[in-house]
Amino acid sequence: MKQIAIQGAIGSYHDIAAHQYFSGEDIELVCCDTFDELFHKMGHDKNLFGLIAIENTIAGSLLHNNDLLRFSNTRIIGEHKLHISHSLAVLPGTKLEDIEEIHSHPIALMQCREFFQKIPHAKLVESEDTALSAQEIKMQGIKNRAAVCSAYAAELYGLDILHQGIETNKANYTRFLVIADKQRAAQIIQESHPNKANIVFTLPHEEGSLSQVLSLLSFYKNNLTKIQSLPVQGEEWRYQFYVDLTFDDISRYHQSLTAVMPLTKELKVLGEYEACEKSGSYKDIRK
């Protein structure tokens, strides 16, 4: 049985993504309150896999997770894209006018602001996790509270769904990364056909340094799908660059890394894996 560390409770979007990615396999979830806790556990158990959200089409990138990846002993072995659709869930018998508080993760609340205008009397309360908000309502029997969570979490905890699809923007997708200890990841890579990679590097503070690196990566036929700059902590006006790229020829991709290495500082490959071409939804989960 594979153990998969996720952030959040059973019924969370991380739970759904993990079961979709490892579909058909016997897995056990290791639920963590924070991403820091997740990486801490993986650092002490090299057999653990992990699944972490890295970006959302509305909220953007989870920048802290980039740093956690960079300084960990893990490597990315895969990715999964999930369509995020929020539901307003309550104890059976609770009506919309009865709701005094709405609990959920702050990003989930942010994504449903337009819907909340219909119930201005309800107070929005931030919590650690969408599924945990649903679980608390069920376990504590709270009749005047609602949770913003997945329909799967509502079903799991026996809650009624008053409204489904309450997110403002329906094109709401989250990309998750699947990670493993670097030694195990190396074995997995040998048995797969990677066509995507995540790298991070810093550059000397010189004119044109970034354009030179990007030009070389492009010259070797890599397709840059994302570039994110973050300041190097404690160093004034110095940045690190996180780059996602896809490629058709892994040998040519490796040649491109060799070519840009002298132009960069502290270049690190965060993972090489097969790109996810299809997005799932909570209805795809089968336990």
Is it true that 2-83+173-279 and 87-164 share their CATH fold? yes
Residue at 244: amino acid letter: D
CATH of domain 87-164: 3.40.190.10
Please give the single-letter amino acid code of residue 220: Y
What are the boundaries of each domain within the chain? 2-83+173-279, 87-164
CA–CA gap between residue 100 and residue 107 (Å, rounded): 20
In sequence order, what are the beta bridge partners of 93? none
* Ramachandran quadrant class, 199 (left: phi over 0; alpha: psi -120 to 50; beta: rest): beta
E-strand ranges in the chain read 2-7, 27-32, 49-56, 60-61, 74-83, 87-90, 101-104, 123-126, 145-149, 160-164, 173-181, 196-202, 223-231, 239-246, 265-273, 279-280
Query: What pTM value is reported for the model?
Result: 0.92
Q: Please, where are the H alpha helices in 168-240?
A: 182-190, 209-219
Alpha-carbon torsion (283, 168, 279, 243), positive or negative: negative
Q: What is the pLDDT along the chain (287 residues), one digit of tens a residue?
A: 999 999 999 999 999 999 999 999 999 999 999 999 999 999 999 999 999 999 999 888 998 999 999 999 999 999 999 999 999 999 999 999 999 999 999 999 999 999 999 999 999 999 999 999 999 999 999 999 999 999 999 999 999 999 999 999 999 999 999 999 999 999 999 999 999 999 999 988 778 889 999 999 999 999 999 999 888 877 777 789 999 999 999 999 999 999 999 999 889 999 999 999 766 655 555 44
* pLDDT one-digit tens code per residue, 144-153: 999 999 999 9
CB 66 within 8 A of CB 201: no
Report the distance separating Cα 50 and Cα 181, nearest Å: 9
Strand ranges, E, within 8-122: 27-32, 49-56, 60-61, 74-83, 87-90, 101-104
> One-letter amino acid identity for 125?
V
- Which tens digit of pLDDT belongs to each residue from 170-181? 999 999 999 999
DSSP state of 275: P
Nearest-CA neighbor of 185 among 124, 110, 111, 270? 270
The token pair that represents 95 in the structure block: 């009506």
Q: Are strands 60-61 and 49-56 parallel, antiparallel or unpaired?
A: antiparallel
Q: Is domain 2-83+173-279 classified as CATH 3.40.190.10?
A: yes
Q: How far apart are CA 66 and CA 197, in angstroms?
A: 14
Q: Which amino acid is at 24?
A: G
